[in-house]
Amino acid sequence: MKRGDVVIVPFPFQDRPGQKIRPAVVVQSDAENRRLVNTVLAMITGNLADAGRPTTVLVDPKTPDGAGSGLSGPSLVKCYNLATVRQGRVLQVIGHLSDAVMQKVNQALKAALELP
């Protein structure tokens, strides 16, 4: 599993017990992914209501930057909604985000976590 991989995983709900099978992107470093049994993921949703916020990244699979994502339609990476999950819980790797999209994810993570 590598940073930038788009995976299908049981992602925990924010507001109640339980989880939903959904796409997410691996945001943990490759070195930590090799060393640890857990990984850190950012949720991906088809709900575009938060598009344009500094903590989200729009991925459109019909564009060159989104073509390798494996996503079926325009989607939003919500960098304010992170989860740590066991790597063994990942059901499938469906794609990988381009370097250009991952640069935007890095900026959105900085905004979400108030990093310099």
CB 79 within 8 A of CB 56: yes
Of 4, 13, 2, 6, which Cα lies nearest the Cα of 83? 13
pLDDT of 17 strictly over 80:
no
**pLDDT tens digits, 58-83:** 999 999 999 999 999 999 999 999 99
Q: 109 by DSSP, 3-state: which?
A: helix
- Listed in sequence order, the residues at least 6 apart from 63 whose beta carbon sits closer than 8 Å to its beta carbon are none
Domain extent listing, the chain: 5-113
pLDDT of 19 strictly over 90:
no
What is the chain's mean pLDDT, rounded?
96
* Cα–Cα distance measured from residue 60 to residue 39, given in angstroms and rounded to the nearest whole number: 24
What kind of fold does domain 5-113 have according to CATH?
SH3 type barrels. (2.30.30)
Position 95 scores a pLDDT of: 99
